[in-house]
Structure formats: C-alpha cells, structure tokens
C-alpha cells in the first residue's frame, strides 16, 4: 500500500473524491492535527465563553501597578 497526500479544497477536492470513487479506490479524509495541547484549547474556549456571558472582572490600569 502507498500513501498519496493531496492538499486541495473546494471543487477540486470534490472532483478528486469523485474520481477515486469512480475507480473504486478507498480513501480517507484526515483533519490536520492541532499543534496545541487539548487541555489548553479547552481552557481558552471556556474563558471566551465566560467573556461572552459577562463573567469577567475588569481591573483599571491604575490598580494593576499598586
């Protein structure tokens, strides 16, 4: 078995998939792996959700340097 990597999107990718299907060739579509730790991504998403829901504490610049 050999592996061929095709980097494409949109109509071109759909045409490639249709061609492979017409030749009865099995293929697999894989999502690229994220370089970020999943726990880190989860924390960032939770903090963004907190911001949307107003669960934040604002500190003025004058108070930071005290």
The 10s digit of each residue's pLDDT in 9-65 is 889 999 999 999 999 999 888 888 889 999 999 999 999 999 999 999 888 888 887
Does the residue 1 lie in any domain?
Answer: no
Does the residue 38 lie in any domain?
Answer: yes
Q: Give residue 3's pLDDT.
A: 85
Q: Give residue 18's pLDDT.
A: 94
| Separation of alpha carbons 31 and 13, rounded Å | 14
How many independent structural domains does the chain possess?
Answer: 1
pTM: 0.46
| Separation of alpha carbons 66 and 63, rounded Å | 5
Does the residue 3 lie in any domain?
Answer: no
Does the residue 4 lie in any domain?
Answer: no
Chain-centroid distance of CA 8 in Å reads 16
Q: Which domain holds residue 39?
A: 10-64
């Amino acid at each position: 078995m050999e592996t061929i990597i095709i980097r494409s999107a949109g109509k071109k990718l759909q045409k490639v998939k249709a061609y492979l299907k017409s030749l009865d060739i099995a293929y697999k579509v894989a999502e690229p792996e994220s370089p970020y730790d999943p726990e880190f991504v989860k924390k960032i998403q939770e903090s963004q959700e907190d911001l949307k829901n107003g669960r934040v504490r604002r500190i003025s610049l004058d108070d930071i340097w005290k």
